[in-house]
Amino acid sequence: MKRNEIYIIHGKQYIDMTERLLQEADLAGMIGDREKRIGIKPNLVSASPASEGGTTHPEVVEGLIRYLQRHGFYNLAIMEGSWVGGRTEEAFEVCGYRKLAERFHVELIDAQKEKSVTKDCGGMELHICRCAEHVDFMINVPVLKGHCQTRITCALKNMKGLLPNGEKRRFHAMGLHRPIAHLALGIRQDFILVDNICGDLSFEDGGNPTEMNRLLAAADPVLCDAYVCRFLHYQTRDVPYIGMAETLGAGSSDLDRAVIRELNKPEHAAELPELGRVLKLAEMAEEVESCSACYGYLIPALDMLEKEGFLKNFKEKVCIGQGFRGKNGVLGVGRCTAGFTHHLDGCPPTEQEMYEFLKDYIMETETRRLICDLACIPAAAGQEQKRADYIKAWLQRQGAENVYEDQAGNICWLWSRKKEHLTVFTAHMDTVFSEDTRLQIREEDGRLYCPGIGDDTANLACMLMAAAEAARSGWIPEHGILFAATVGEEGLGNLKGSRQIFKDYGYAADQAVCFDLYREAVYCRAVGSARYEVRVRTPGGHSYEDFGRKNAIAEAARLITRLYENEGRGSGKATWNVGTIRGGTVINAIASEAVFTYEYRSEDSGCMDEMEQRFRKALDETQDGDVSAEATCIGIRPCARGVDGQRQKELADSCRRVLRKYTEREIPDKAASTDANIPLSMGIPAVCIGTVAGAGLHTLEEYIESDSIRQGFKITGDVLRMCVGEQRKESPQD
């Protein structure tokens, strides 16, 4: 085979193809002496099967060994060192090379364990593994792949596997291209057998294989890589080390003088993927002297995030590389960015770890921004429209379709193919604060302060993040979730929003989870309440001239005294309270009218019934000829009735497990008055849980703990996945 030739063979019988290709190239004639020590250098960058597109197929190396041994060459050694952070021994095992070496009695050398020698490589001193120096004829068996930093990796770059890990890191500190070019003089490649079966044309560690089913043979590594550039629609100038290696005399990139010999024709024309995607993803990173493993994991992690829609609004750069050692910054991955505010340790961290870390960072940033935006929009009970408009538009931007505002003013999105066996998620939009309350975020000592930020703005934002995750998934369950941002939960809103939701969907709801309060308990019992405005009237008169007439304020006070002598009955706790009182006109007039508000509460329906009877009796006892007492109901929050105890317990226990996972504490059952009262009163299992830590409910100094935001969106996400269960695995859409 001549230096200006490239042979190509197509097919799926990889062992036979290899032997035929080598026969046509006359590899045996090129080697000559049967006593020569022959090095075989595959690409085992990581411990991943060749089918994933990152490593050399063992069938190709088997075909090579069969050919060599049939021609009398037995002094063979397979040598490789995986990338920094990987273990070559594991790659030998996973990729099938240990068994291959044992079957054919070939030496297997882990270059990561080899001592190194220093060698002058065209004016650059490089440290090279000793095993590469003890070879008479080197056969390079790279995978034709894309590369996040150099665009391609094939013949020239594959020899980097025969460097010690410290030298691999130094290559990145020197900018990769120049040392790769000089390495071509340090380790001579006598023959190149290219695995172009299914290499990942985007990422060097595989994961996105492109089926090509062909092998290439070449004698000039520079010409080989120049051909790969043209094949992938790059110019050789796009991969600087090719031109640098040519200048150093390692080979020629002149494809006009090359002779391409195809030994057969492919059955089907292969289609190349869109390769600009990697370059676009690379723009999201700020890379300075990063190692291949670290950077090679980052780009696929960003690719996964981009496909899932997480990078749509992501503007920050992810810093990576040795150039950030000892420096400060915001967001970085790898041990070299240890000084950054948000950083992922590891050398290198894995692709999955980077994906999870960046996803958490993006989700936390989005959740925090959403909390702050919502908290600054006034939303007193009955005046939620501005928040409703914001939420509807926000959900639509996340990809949620058919978001609507219902008759009560709730913002709803149904994530389900059918209107049956639904789980209802609610979080209320309204707060206890009036329209003129100053709403401004203040961050202090790891806390975010703002009226209404905990009740219920943070929980609302975390529920919306779960809805966004559902919308981005590209999947709709058969029996899914109704997301509802509700109105009228606070004060005299009388659970207006929740009533409308379960009026519309009660027939289809199997269970409900309401996100409210803090994450300290599972609120699985409904505190019912009855609220009244009581108006007491008397004739009134002058305080001196008409002294002795009945005073409405005094009569109201007597009525209040009777009410406070009330005693609850039934099995549950009962409370009662006079919240406001007003009456009279001036100091020297006998009051003709007094008005107060009164409520009683209990989680026991029997107790509530008896409290109602006692209230009515106290009203009747107040009436006489000159005194009237009228009560107007201004709110009823029902207790639970007819709920299946086992199903309620299962739902509560499932939510408790989620909370315990993120709080690492015991989570008790408690009773509360929330949106969950309505489904519970209809016999539908329902619980209320919080998603964040905080305090100061219903005060101007209300706050949430900033660090709890990350757990908050994870809690709603886990509850979402818990509720849709195994449906995704079973869905034919997937």
Judged against a pLDDT cut of 60, whether residue 568 lies above it is answered with: no
Q: What is the dihedral of CA 191, 195, 196, 199, to 10 degrees?
A: -130
Clarify whether residues 614 and 645 are in a common domain: no
- Per-residue pLDDT, 731: 47
Question: Token pair for residue 141?
Answer: 């068996």
* Integer Cα distance of 31 and 681 in angstroms: 86
Where is pLDDT greater, at 288 or 407? 407
> Who contacts 507 (Cβ-Cβ below 8 Å, separation ≥6)?
none
User: Is residue 600 domain-resident?
Assistant: yes
* Buried-exposed string 581-612: b where 16+ CB fall within 10 A, e elsewhere: eebeeeeeebbbbbbbbbbbbbbbbebbebbe
3 state SS of 689:
strand
Least trusted range by pLDDT, from 55-59, 280-284, 495-499, 597-601: 280-284
Clarify whether residues 521 and 433 are in a common domain: yes
Check whether the bond before 348 is cis (ω within 30° of 0): yes
User: Is residue 104 domain-resident?
Assistant: yes
Q: Which of 104, 110, 217, 103 is nearest to 154 (CA)?
A: 217
User: Is residue 382 domain-resident?
Assistant: no
Cβ(642)–Cβ(554) below 8 Å: no
Give, in order, the Cα–Cα distances in Å from 171 to each of 46, 179, 240: 19, 6, 14
Cβ(263)–Cβ(20) below 8 Å: yes
Q: pLDDT of 523-545, one tens digit each?
A: 999 999 999 999 999 999 999 99
* Integer Cα distance of 199 and 26 in angstroms: 26
Which bin fits 96, alpha (ψ -120 to 50), beta or left (φ > 0)? left
Give, in order, the Cα–Cα distances in Å from 354 to each of 294, 515, 635, 708, 712: 9, 30, 51, 21, 20
* Integer Cα distance of 167 and 185 in angstroms: 16
The mean predicted confidence, pLDDT, of the chain is 93
Least trusted range by pLDDT, from 285-299, 405-419, 420-434: 285-299
User: Is residue 514 domain-resident?
Assistant: yes
| Residue found by looking up tokens 């040598």 in the block | 79
Radius of gyration of the chain measured on its C-alpha atoms: 37
Judged against a pLDDT cut of 80, whether residue 728 lies above it is answered with: no
Looking at residue 83, which CATH number applies to its domain?
Answer: 3.40.50.11440
Number of structural domains the chain divides into: 4
Clarify whether residues 325 and 450 are in a common domain: no
Task: Place 715 in a pLDDT band, splitting at 50, 70 and 90.
Answer: very high
Pick the last residue of a domain from 262, 292, 325: 262
- Per-residue pLDDT, 732: 42
Clarify whether residues 341 and 393 are in a common domain: no
* Integer Cα distance of 706 and 443 in angstroms: 9
Clarify whether residues 322 and 414 are in a common domain: no
* Integer Cα distance of 2 and 122 in angstroms: 24
* Integer Cα distance of 102 and 608 in angstroms: 81
Q: pLDDT of 293-346, one tens digit each?
A: 788 889 889 989 998 888 888 889 999 998 999 999 999 999 999 999 999 999
Judged against a pLDDT cut of 50, whether residue 640 lies above it is answered with: yes
Task: Place 13 in a pLDDT band, splitting at 50, 70 and 90.
Answer: very high
Clarify whether residues 43 and 62 are in a common domain: yes
Looking at residue 539, which CATH number applies to its domain?
Answer: 3.30.70.360
- Per-residue pLDDT, 291: 81
Mean pLDDT in residue range 33-38: 96
Clarify whether residues 479 and 499 are in a common domain: yes
The dihedral of CA 48, 51, 56, 58: what is its sign? Answer: positive
Looking at residue 518, which CATH number applies to its domain?
Answer: 3.40.630.10
| Domain around 331 | 276-349
* Integer Cα distance of 466 and 716 in angstroms: 6
- Per-residue pLDDT, 567: 59
- Per-residue pLDDT, 205: 82
Judged against a pLDDT cut of 50, whether residue 733 lies above it is answered with: no
| Residue found by looking up tokens 């049956």 in the block | 420
Pick the last residue of a domain from 579, 599, 628: 628
Q: pLDDT of 209-265, one tens digit each?
A: 999 999 999 999 999 999 999 999 899 999 999 999 999 999 999 999 999 999 999
Q: pLDDT of 669-686, one tens digit each?
A: 999 999 999 999 999 999
DSSP-assigned beta bridge partners for residue 542: 589
Task: Place 271 in a pLDDT band, splitting at 50, 70 and 90.
Answer: confident
User: Is residue 615 domain-resident?
Assistant: yes
Clarify whether residues 597 and 574 are in a common domain: yes
Pick the last residue of a domain from 200, 227, 262: 262
Clarify whether residues 435 and 568 are in a common domain: no
Question: Token pair for residue 712?
Answer: 């908050």
Prediction pTM value: 0.77
* Buried-exposed string 67-106: b where 16+ CB fall within 10 A, e elsewhere: bbeeeebebbbbbbbbbbbbebeebbebbbbbebbeebeb
Clarify whether residues 432 and 551 are in a common domain: no
User: Is residue 359 domain-resident?
Assistant: no
Q: pLDDT of 602-620, one tens digit each?
A: 998 888 989 999 999 999 9
Give me the count of residues in the chain: 734
Task: Place 571 in a pLDDT band, splitting at 50, 70 and 90.
Answer: low
DSSP secondary structure string, 699-720? STT-EEETTHHHHHHHHHHHHH
Clarify whether residues 610 and 653 are in a common domain: no
User: Is residue 181 domain-resident?
Assistant: yes
- Per-residue pLDDT, 572: 65
- Per-residue pLDDT, 365: 94
User: Is residue 379 domain-resident?
Assistant: no
Give, in order, the Cα–Cα distances in Å from 718 to each of 368, 713, 725: 18, 9, 10
Cβ(591)–Cβ(550) below 8 Å: no
Task: Place 569 in a pLDDT band, splitting at 50, 70 and 90.
Answer: low
Cβ(216)–Cβ(6) below 8 Å: yes
Clarify whether residues 113 and 252 are in a common domain: yes
Helix, strand, coil percentages (3-state) for the chain, rounded to 5, are 40, 25, 35
Q: Which of 61, 40, 35, 39 is nearest to 50 (CA)?
A: 61
Q: pLDDT of 91-140, one tens digit each?
A: 999 999 999 999 999 999 999 999 999 999 999 999 999 999 999 999 99
DSSP secondary structure string, 509-539? EEEEEEE-S-TT-EEEEE-EEEEEEEEEE--
